[in-house]
A = this chain, B = another copy of it.
Amino acid sequence: MVTSNDPGFRAWSLIVDVWALLSPIFAQNLGEIGMSMSSFDVLVNLLIADNNEARMSDLAERTVISFSRVSRVVDDLEEQGFVERRPDPKDGRAVIIKLTPAGRRHLRQAVRVHVRDVQETFSAHLSEEQALAVIDALDAVMGAHGRVPSATAPWDSGR
């Protein structure tokens, strides 16, 4: 019988708790250097993209946020000079978003802040085996939903 006390359910509850505890901290600290979580997500995805550019819709698929939100986040980033919009020569409907040098600089700073945050508030309290076990488990969940396993992470491999 399915009960809410089974380990699966308790594991989910803890994800909720950890998310509720940490995500506001990360948002706050990125906010202090003038960056939102969404902007960060978009910029990181541009950094690892070929030639530091991507179409709107590709960005929306790769990030964790919706199409409409990506569009507005790009509005902001463009206004700040961190990305630029240009027409896609292959498709008149599409827009290509490109990271600017200023955007890359700003992102570099944000990465420093965020990596430190995750390290201090999360990773520091896990052994390597514990972290690997979490990866193993959550990759299985993502895989079951047809998402590719996390492979290797963003900004220091991709560069």
Contacts and interface: CB of A to CB of B under 8 A. Distances in A.
Interface of A: 2-22, 64, 111, 115-116, 118-119, 121-126, 128, 130-145, 147, 150, 152-157
Interface residues of A, dominant DSSP: helix
Contact of A10 (B6, B14, B130, B135): B135
Contacts of A3: 115, 156
Contacts of A130: 133, 136-137, 140
A81 B100 CA distance: 55
A151 B131 CA distance: 21
Contact of A4 (B6, B13, B122, B155): B155
Contacts of A141: 18, 121-122, 125-126
